[in-house]
Amino acid sequence: MSSPSNLKRRYRADKRFKLYGIAAIAFSLCFLTFFFVDIIGKAIPAFEQAYIQVPVTYNEALKSNYNKAIPKAYRRLVSKAFLRTLPQKLEAHPELLGTTQPEWALANHRVDQFLKQHEGHGLKKKYRSKVEQLYQEDKIEFRFNANFFSRGDSKMAENAGVLAAVMGSVLVLLITILVAVPIGVMTAIYLEEFAPDNKFTQAIEVNINNLAAIPSILYGLLGLAIFINVMGVPRSSALAGGLTLALMTLPVIIISTRAALRSVPQSIRDAAYGLGASNLQVVMHHVLPLAFPGILTGSIIGLAQAMGETAPLLIVGMMAYIPEAPSSILNAATVLPAQVYTWSSESMRAFEERTAAGILVLLVVLLSLNALAVYLRKRFEVRW
């Protein structure tokens, strides 16, 4: 029997330990909250974009110099992305020649940032009162920034969007899935269920575990050496990126699949073997269905990790300026995290909010993938 004072001390130790735990959680929650508030706060302005109403004069001169279409006073306020579409518009609608129309044009990023009252907007002093006046007269208004989702990268900040990067990410991820999941799952099944346990397979196992831990940039070098230099895959292409990420994801998928296979109770295997099922039948009919949720979750987590990866893609040239969404896996492409990185090093103020918005899009995609993993695990879990 312990004395009462001893007992009290034990209770106190318990309580203290619980408090440490709560403090640790509170601490990490603070960081998380700060991170989300900061990112979301910075990203929200990016979803609104200033549009400005300008009188557009369709004349012969704009065919050679689109600046001639609008009065001088507006030329530094309107985005070139709008102006450069005018010659094509005139060509498509010749009847507009000689007319002057008031039109809503995408505003220059300086105007946009000035009205959002962001430091470093870069709008010259002489335009400021004019812009404010136009805003008062409702000649400038904020609209939902659809361009952000429907355009690729652009040197004009007001026109830059994530579409090309999203498409690039989708293509890269598809290639990674198609390559890494079948190879990884088959490797794991062979190693776990069929391979003899000898020095050779043990060496393979140790090496796979090590591969999961090496810096990801090395996979970039490996991808560059094998896929681009030897196999001649086009540089910067989604194919090169996807194959490189597949290399990186393979060990993760193999390890998680093996863990899932190992968690299937031996008694189920015994039962099937005892009934005369062959090795393959035991695996296909009993072990795989039970291990499936685990394999799925492991693969999705591995792919989510690959999706957020930047370093190996830098090496295979995927951090490029890509204004158009790639139309095939051989076209030059970029991915979301690389796009975020590119924007974060731009000097124009409008890119800062786009960087945050890009991070937000990436986070939403990754969290959805993880939520999908949790849902699928719950959905397919077999209880016994």
Partner 1 sequence: MSKAKISVSNLKLWYGNNEALHGIDVEFQAKKVTALIGPSGCGKSTLLRCLNRMNDRIVGCRVDGNVLLDGNDIYAPDVDVVELRTNVGMVFQKPNPFPKSIYENIVYAPQIHGMVDKTGMDELVETSLRKASIWDEVKDKLHEPGTALSGGQQQRLCIARTIAVKPDVILMDEPCSALDPIATAKIEELIDELKSEYTIIMVTHNMQQAARVSDHTAFFYMGDLIEFGNTSDIFTKPQQQQTEDYITGRFG
- 71 contacts partner 1 (rule: CB under 8 A): no
Pick the piece of the chain touching partner 1 (CB under 8 A) from 149-157, 172-180, 271-279, 342-350.
271-279
Q: How many CB atoms lie within 10 A of CB 182?
A: 11
Name which position in 212, 268, 311, 320 contacts partner 1 (CB under 8 A): 268
Alpha-carbon distance of 124 to 126, in angstroms, equals 6
Phi, psi of 49 (to 5 degrees): -140, 135
Tokens 């557009």 correspond to what residue?
56
In the complex with partner 1, which residue's Cβ is closer, 215 or 276?
276
- 170 contacts partner 1 (rule: CB under 8 A): no
- 186 contacts partner 1 (rule: CB under 8 A): no
- 372 contacts partner 1 (rule: CB under 8 A): no
Name which position in 167, 189, 290, 306 contacts partner 1 (CB under 8 A): 290
- 28 contacts partner 1 (rule: CB under 8 A): no
Q: How many CB atoms lie within 10 A of CB 375?
A: 11
- 370 contacts partner 1 (rule: CB under 8 A): no
* Total residues binding partner 1 (CB under 8 A): 21
Pick the piece of the chain touching partner 1 (CB under 8 A) from 12-20, 139-147, 225-233, 279-287.
279-287
Alpha-carbon distance of 294 to 288, in angstroms, equals 10
Sign of the CA dihedral running 68, 69, 73, 74: negative
Pick the piece of the chain touching partner 1 (CB under 8 A) from 159-167, 182-190, 269-277, 337-345.
269-277
Type of residue numbered 81: A
Residue 146 CA, chain-centre distance (Å), reads: 18
Q: How far is the CB of 286 from partner 1 (least distance, A)?
A: 6
Alpha-carbon distance of 176 to 307, in angstroms, equals 9
Rg of the chain (C-alpha set): 29
In the complex with partner 1, which residue's Cβ is closer, 55 or 265?
265
Residues in the chain: 384
In the complex with partner 1, which residue's Cβ is closer, 33 or 279?
279
Name which position in 267, 345, 347, 379 contacts partner 1 (CB under 8 A): 267
Alpha-carbon distance of 165 to 109, in angstroms, equals 21
In the complex with partner 1, which residue's Cβ is closer, 175 or 288?
288
User: What are 111's two structure tokens?
Assistant: 């105007």
- Residue 121's closest CA among 137, 134, 132, 133? 132
Name which position in 281, 305, 344, 370 contacts partner 1 (CB under 8 A): 281
Q: Under a CB-based contact definition with an 8 Å cutoff, are residues 150 and 56 in contact?
A: no
Per-residue interface string for the shown chain with partner 1, residues 211-250, x marking contact by CB under 8 A: ----------------------------------------
Name which position in 286, 301, 308, 323 contacts partner 1 (CB under 8 A): 286
- 278 contacts partner 1 (rule: CB under 8 A): yes
Pick the piece of the chain touching partner 1 (CB under 8 A) from 227-235, 273-281, 335-343, 344-352.
273-281
The contacts of residue 322 (CB under 8 Å, 6+ apart) are 152, 153, 164, 165, 168, 332, 333, 334
Q: How far is the CB of 201 from partner 1 (least distance, A)?
A: 11
Q: What is the DSSP string of 302-361?
A: HHHHHHT--HHHHHTT--S---S--SSTTSB---HHHHHHHHHT--STHHHHHHHHHHHH
- 379 contacts partner 1 (rule: CB under 8 A): no
In the complex with partner 1, which residue's Cβ is closer, 272 or 357?
272
In the complex with partner 1, which residue's Cβ is closer, 212 or 268?
268
- 203 contacts partner 1 (rule: CB under 8 A): no
163's enclosing H/E stretch is helix 163-189
Name which position in 9, 143, 285, 378 contacts partner 1 (CB under 8 A): 285
Type of residue numbered 86: L
Q: Specify the long-range contacts of residues 204-209, CB closer than 8 Å, at least 24 apart.
A: 208/251, 208/254, 208/255, 209/251, 209/255
Q: How far is the CB of 260 from partner 1 (least distance, A)?
A: 15
- 380 contacts partner 1 (rule: CB under 8 A): no
Name which position in 104, 149, 273, 380 contacts partner 1 (CB under 8 A): 273
The residues of the shown chain that bind partner 1, judged by CB under 8 A, are: 196-197, 265, 267-268, 270-278, 281, 285-286, 290, 382-384
